[in-house]
Structure 1
């Protein structure tokens, strides 16, 4: 290449690099500006309020928690997230109204978010239901002492509802009430979800007159057992037919995840990495939700029990949860079916979910 042409190429590449750097700098500057605005939006200004974020020693490792509320005299609500590995910190700005009624605690579980970022893959041998149940119990004990409360409301979502049942069963004395949403009761939850998926695939195949898909799906539909072979067939046609997700999650809140204050790009990276890491040990046919079920713990509970379920939850359908709930004995229990609700009602219907908490759970939320 002639020297002049090489010089022109070099100048062009340098110019492109400078443009990219300028765009990146502008993007980071805009993000910093939006995060500054978010600090004002989310600030707790009440003199009796609490706004904390810290690592706490739980289960022999540092685990991240966030505590927010406008009045320390309010009941403490511990939200046990799903996923597994699905930290709620980036998607919780819609919970501002909750903080008028509760002191809301979010917890990056073992293998999740900032907790994963602090410890990393060394957690692998400890990623068990038993260890994580004990983590939750230790956290509840810490919160009871730190916030000067005798008992705590536990809200468990999806995987967190499975973990939450184990927590309240092991140490009911720590909790004033249990609220499950997207409640997982074991493998029957996912067998029902698979059955619904096959039905949706059949309807989509019929609408497109895909005879090959209908022929392969028909024997599974007659006996929708969740085997690896059946799962492969379902995944194949899921991809080929373009089946939409069972639940399309739309967050409701004033601050998008990218602009949450004090949430670094590394935190967002660890959010994704933690979800992949946790799924490796806690989901699938070898995971605890397939290997055990809540019924094996017994049906007697000594605290009030509430299930708030989305009528159209395609991820953890309400039918298995309702069957389980009918067997439960408790001082008080209520099964709430949210019309049109999906798997993510605490996030895409936070005001409606709060209304249910205030009306049904608050009367039992004692110190």
Structure 2
């Protein structure tokens, strides 16, 4: 009997493994089919279009870029992603309309996505603001030569806005204009975010009559410094009170999991890259907290645009607006998007494009 029972268990496990294999194979097949349909939807078919993806030698390593657009004669727009480590390749199907007016370049920065996958942990000593700023400058120089353009439009989001504004300040000759969204100006951005977070937690605590939360939050609200102790208290009550957070609500036609030419290995490298980049670029010792963009100087020689959501809970626009009021530029515009959160380019891509066309496009020649 024991031997017979063992055989039955073994057969059951084999059967279960077979079912798992069949289900996994079917799932992968369905994903491949959906990716094929997505590739057809996103294909660039215009005679003067461009649709490229390649590794480029930048900063001594291979870095991945994607270039897409309906007309090579259009201005080039380099999108510098946030995160850090947050490649935009799987979440950019909403930019299809952008590609009618600009040639869009997406870049997996040092420590991100496919660039991380190609180099791995060997990048650790080079994960600095200075090195990555130089990477961006080298990429802009490459794009000018490769796409035969005099200058390009530079757009930075979140961490990417902090990186890109350093690029714009160092080499304004490469860019027609700078556009920041979810603009990070330094420690003051995150101090304001923390202050607003504590205020929102107090409101939630009061609405549920949570006296313990109100008691712990009151002294922090009186002096909302980002100490480790205060952060731990804020995290605790964020979980308990279920504080809503800004999340990407994508407006694109293609769900990220079905984006073409984005493999399961790419997803693995995406997750690894976010963790890796976050380790070196954020936190108390990260450059966004240790450096203020005002230290670069307040004079810019190219047009400057900030497009900010007035409901951004990650990088509140108040500090960015105050900084923007101090800078000088040949032309500058600060735009508030009502009801907009931290992810404007992704959840309101057509509205964001409208601002680019109305305000920025006129400054971008070839």
TM tier relative to shorter chain: over 0.9
**What is the aligned length?**
366
Q: In the alignment, which residue of structure 1 is the partner of 2:131?
A: 131
CA deviation after TM superposition for structure 1 residue 248, in Å = 2.5
User: How is 1:50-199 mapped onto 2 (pairs within 5 angstroms)?
Assistant: 50-199=50-199
- In structure 1, C-alpha distance between the alignment counterparts of 2:205 and 2:68, rounded to whole Å: 48
TM-score for the superposition, normalised by structure 1: 0.99
Q: In the alignment, which residue of structure 2 is the partner of 1:266?
A: 265
Spell out, residue by residue over 1:167-219, the C-alpha distance to the aligned partner (whole angstroms, 9 max, x if none).
00000000000000000000000000000100111111111111111111001
Root-mean-square deviation (CA, aligned residues, Å) is 0.7
Q: In the alignment, which residue of structure 2 is the partner of 1:285?
A: 284
| SS of residue matched to 1:6 | helix
CA deviation after TM superposition for structure 1 residue 10, in Å = 0.9
| SS of residue matched to 2:65 | strand
| SS of residue matched to 1:177 | strand
Q: In the alignment, which residue of structure 1 is the partner of 2:232?
A: 232
Matched, 1:357 2:352: no
TM-score for the superposition, normalised by structure 2: 0.99
| SS of residue matched to 1:340 | coil
CA deviation after TM superposition for structure 1 residue 238, in Å = 1.2
Q: In the alignment, which residue of structure 2 is the partner of 1:321?
A: 320
Q: In the alignment, which residue of structure 1 is the partner of 2:5?
A: 5
- In structure 2, C-alpha distance between the alignment counterparts of 1:179 and 1:158, rounded to whole Å: 11
- In structure 1, C-alpha distance between the alignment counterparts of 2:40 and 2:247, rounded to whole Å: 30
- In structure 2, C-alpha distance between the alignment counterparts of 1:80 and 1:34, rounded to whole Å: 28
- In structure 1, C-alpha distance between the alignment counterparts of 2:38 and 2:211, rounded to whole Å: 53
- In structure 2, C-alpha distance between the alignment counterparts of 1:218 and 1:2, rounded to whole Å: 66
Spell out, residue by residue over 1:302-353, the C-alpha distance to the aligned partner (whole angstroms, 9 max, x if none).
0000000001000000000000000010000000000100000000000000
Matched, 1:212 2:207: no
Greater displacement, 209-218 / 130-139: 209-218
- In structure 1, C-alpha distance between the alignment counterparts of 2:12 and 2:300, rounded to whole Å: 70
- In structure 2, C-alpha distance between the alignment counterparts of 1:276 and 1:283, rounded to whole Å: 10
Q: In the alignment, which residue of structure 2 is the partner of 1:347?
A: 346
Spell out, residue by residue over 1:153-180, the C-alpha distance to the aligned partner (whole angstroms, 9 max, x if none).
0000000000011000000000000000
- In structure 1, C-alpha distance between the alignment counterparts of 2:16 and 2:221, rounded to whole Å: 55
- In structure 2, C-alpha distance between the alignment counterparts of 1:248 and 1:80, rounded to whole Å: 19
- In structure 2, C-alpha distance between the alignment counterparts of 1:312 and 1:239, rounded to whole Å: 21
- Segments of 5+ residues of structure 2 without an aligned counterpart are none
- In structure 2, C-alpha distance between the alignment counterparts of 1:7 and 1:356, rounded to whole Å: 68
- Segments of 5+ residues of structure 1 without an aligned counterpart are none
- In structure 2, C-alpha distance between the alignment counterparts of 1:346 and 1:210, rounded to whole Å: 37
Q: In the alignment, which residue of structure 1 is the partner of 2:47?
A: 47
Give structure 1 regions of 4+ aligned residues with deviation exceeding 6 angstroms: none
